[in-house]
């Protein structure tokens, strides 16, 4: 910012004889964008922003993915508590209602979490909450599991959910949808671990990344919502990256678009909405073999 001003005003202040006749050229689009990008806008109000993108892809008729993005701002003298909930669910089971499972998962999960938080967020005087974020996320998973087994028996779905309260992200994760942190300096960090057989075999060193690409059972999950009696989801809490972007997506994106392209799409887009569009487009250009879902969120200020 300072650089920009000193450059701007320095030029104007430069005492040259040719001042009167100097041609001022408008800044090129590239220069403008560089300036905008270099400005790190300061907001007095710390807030969450988010966007979502979805496409059925190029090779499937049915969209079995579901996504949910819920972002709220509430600020005043008593404080400012960013609150958000972001979920991607990738259903499986086709004739066994994969789309029913993923839809039931996001609604049940979000409904449960919001009901739990409602009295603490929207009542004037409350006691401290007697359940932890992680306990609420676990209970929401179990409730979703119960509803899916009732509404769409035999089907299953992945679920990757991020609850943002203040500067804490609590993740609940089952299956092979993923959550990432993407940083402005071009780093990307996968914060979830796929519950897939191929990932497991790779972790054990029994197959290489290359073999994994062509592994016959690439889609085998060893954990999915709606499946099995004992579900042991991954639940953990991390600090929201600042600056940085939280991305949650289904394998229709991460399995298709290279990480470098994902980073570029996110970091170079003028807005989160555009970034989502770019990501979905990139997956479709790469063949769009599967449903594509992506949610992006940033904590700014």
Partner 1 sequence: MGSVYRARDLHFPNVTKLVAVKEMINTALDPLVRQTIVQNFEREANLLATLHHPAIPKIYDYFSLESRSYLVLEFIHGKDIEAIINDASGFLLEELVLSWAIELCDVLDYLHKHKPDPIIFRDMKPSNVMINLNGEVILVDFGIAKAFQSGSKGTMIGTEGYSPPEQYRGEATPLADIYSLGATIHHALTRRDPRLEPPFSFAERPIRRINPSVSAELETIVNRALEYEPANRFKSAAEMKDALISAARKTGMLSRMANQTGPVLKSDGIKPLWSFKCEDEIRGTPAISQGILYIGSYDNNLYALDAAEGKFQWKYPADGGIVSRPVLTDGNVYFGSEDKRLHVVSARSGKVVWTYYTDGPIRSSPRIAEGHIFIGSDDNHLHAVNLTTGRLAWRFEMPDAIRSTPFVMNELVYVGCESGDYYAINFRGEMKWRFRAKRAITSSTVGMGQAIYFSSVDSALYALDPRNGWVLWRFRMGKASISSPCVVDDLVFVGAADGFIYAVEARSAKEVWRFRTEHQVNGSPVIYKDSLYCGSVDGNLYCLEYRTGRLRWKFSTDGAITGTPLVNDDVVYIGSTDHKVYALLA
* Positions in the binding site for partner 1 (CB under 8 A): 64, 79, 81, 92-96, 98, 127-129, 131-135, 154-156, 165-168, 170, 195, 197, 200-201, 203-204, 206, 217, 219-224, 227-230, 232, 234-239
- Supply 155's token pair: 């089907």
| Nearest distance from C-beta of residue 215 to partner 1, angstroms | 10
Q: Are 257 and 301 a contacting pair, CB within 8 Å? A: no
| Nearest distance from C-beta of residue 112 to partner 1, angstroms | 17
Looking at the Cβ atoms of 53 and 156, the one nearer to partner 1 is: 156
| Nearest distance from C-beta of residue 118 to partner 1, angstroms | 15
Looking at the Cβ atoms of 52 and 156, the one nearer to partner 1 is: 156
| Nearest distance from C-beta of residue 4 to partner 1, angstroms | 33
| Nearest distance from C-beta of residue 67 to partner 1, angstroms | 18
Q: Are 237 and 212 a contacting pair, CB within 8 Å? A: no
Looking at the Cβ atoms of 19 and 230, the one nearer to partner 1 is: 230
156: enclosing H helix or E strand = strand 156-157
Angle between helices 29-38 and 2-13 (to 10 degrees): 130
Looking at the Cβ atoms of 10 and 153, the one nearer to partner 1 is: 153
| Nearest distance from C-beta of residue 193 to partner 1, angstroms | 8
Write the CB contacts of 222 (distance below 8 Å, at least 6 apart in sequence). Answer: 195, 196, 197, 200
Q: What is the DSSP letter of 21?
A: G
Show the CA angle centred on residue 141, arms to residues 137 and 145, nearest 5°.
170
β-pair partners for 298: 49
Write the CB contacts of 227 (distance below 8 Å, at least 6 apart in sequence). Answer: 156, 221
Looking at the Cβ atoms of 255 and 278, the one nearer to partner 1 is: 255
Looking at the Cβ atoms of 5 and 43, the one nearer to partner 1 is: 43
Other Cβ atoms closer than 10 A to 175: 27
């Amino acid at each position: 910012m300072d650089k920009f001003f000193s450059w701007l005003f320095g030029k104007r202040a430069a005492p040259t004889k040719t001042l009167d006749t100097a041609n001022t050229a408008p800044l090129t689009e590239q220069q403008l964008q560089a300036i905008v990008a270099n400005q790190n806008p300061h907001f007095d109000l710390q807030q969450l922003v988010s966007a979502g993108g979805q496409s059925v892809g190029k090779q499937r008729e049915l969209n079995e993915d579901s996504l949910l993005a819920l972002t709220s701002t509430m600020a005043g003298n008593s404080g400012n508590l960013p609150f958000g909930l972001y979920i991607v669910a990738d259903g499986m089971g086709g004739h066994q209602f994969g789309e029913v499972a993923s839809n039931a998962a996001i609604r049940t999960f979000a409904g449960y979490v919001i009901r739990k938080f409602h009295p603490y967020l929207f009542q004037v005087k409350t006691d401290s909450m007697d359940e932890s974020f992680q306990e609420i996320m676990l209970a929401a998973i179990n409730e979703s599991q119960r509803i899916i087994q009732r509404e769409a028996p035999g089907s299953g779905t992945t679920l990757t959910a991020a609850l943002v309260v203040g500067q804490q992200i609590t993740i609940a994760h089952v299956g092979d949808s993923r959550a990432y942190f993407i940083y402005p300096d071009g780093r990307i960090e996968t914060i979830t671990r796929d519950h897939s057989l191929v990932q497991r075999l790779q972790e054990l060193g029994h197959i290489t990344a290359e073999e994994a690409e062509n592994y016959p059972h690439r889609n085998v999950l060893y954990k999915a919502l709606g499946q099995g009696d004992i579900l042991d989801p991954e639940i953990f809490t991390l600090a929201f990256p600042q600056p940085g972007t939280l991305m949650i997506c289904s394998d229709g994106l991460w399995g298709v678009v290279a990480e470098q392209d994902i980073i570029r799409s996110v970091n170079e887009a003028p807005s989160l909405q555009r970034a989502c569009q770019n990501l979905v487009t990139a997956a479709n250009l790469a063949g769009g073999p599967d449903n594509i879902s992506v949610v992006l969120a940033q904590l700014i200020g």
